[in-house]
Amino acid sequence: MARGETNEGKGPLYRLYINRLRRRLDPGSVPRHLAMMIDGNRRWARQLGYDSAAHGHRAGAAKMKEFLRWCDDVGIRVVSLYLLSNDNLRKRDSQELSDLIEIIAELADELSHERDWRVKHVGRSDGLPPDLARVLSDVEARTHGNPGMHVNLAVGYGGRGEIVDAVRSIIAQHDERGGSLEELAASLTPEQIGEHLYTGGQPDPDLVIRTSGEQRLSDFLLWQSAHSEFYFVEALGPDLREVDFLRAIRDFASRDRRYGG
């Protein structure tokens, strides 16, 4: 597992190195779908002496905009960002959660005006504050016809809940057709479940990146990441650099993917 260092400068030599990494990337070897778990925002704020985690979450949101531009620049077609889990909605301090919800709403709106990206909410809307749910719905409608990079915002998301929702959708659809449970059990396939996930119709993530040195999935894209590659970066979320990203893509391109072998 590869990890990025965090103390490199951004002078001329750094830019030269970045440009060299970009030139050496084979466009055919970059992930089609990249999933990002940005972690460490609260630790970042604490280490810098801020009295509120909101400073870290705002820095993390700014980094996500930058990160998405990096992805677009190397030709990645789908990016999924894990922004707010169902567990976060239940466990976070009320003031921190209120701040985070406001930051996510601002980020979603800003992304809907970036380049020609298509922004999609993945997660349950019914458990979200109405204002945030409305912003996500408006952003999705506003960008629906955009031809550019597809950006999934996982908000109010849980991988186990997504699978449950997919199965419920399949059962409801089957019931509308008048089929029996026995027929459904006999015909159910992994591909059918995949079609009913929040990301139905999209390729599964080829690469999952997580910052801050944490090495767990945290209920993110459980079904879709069955054959994904993983890359863990030591840098806290707001400290992620383009060189860390490019090294992750280079590392991914060098791997021999065996799909369960």
* Residue 43: closest CA among 234, 216, 221, 208: 234
Which residues, in sequence order, are bridge partners of residue 208?
35, 230
Q: Which of 41, 86, 88, 152 is catalytic?
A: 88
Torsion of CA 133, 86, 212, 16, to 10 degrees: -30
b/e per residue 121-160 (b: at least 16 CB within 10 A): bbbbeeebeeebbebbeebbeebeebeebbbbbbbbbbbe
**What CA–CA distance (Å, rounded) separates 222 from 205?**
11
Element (H, E) at 200: none
Active site annotation includes 19:
no
* Rounded Cα–Cα distance for residues 119 and 98 (Å): 22
A 10 A CB-CB count for 189 gives 8
Residue from 242, 216, 204, 211 nearest 31 by CA: 204
Annotated active-site residue 7? The verdict is no
Structure token digits, residue 101? 């919800």
Measure CA 16 to chain center.
29
CB atoms under 10 Å from CB of 259, counted, come to 6
Question: Which residue numbers are catalytic?
Answer: 39, 88
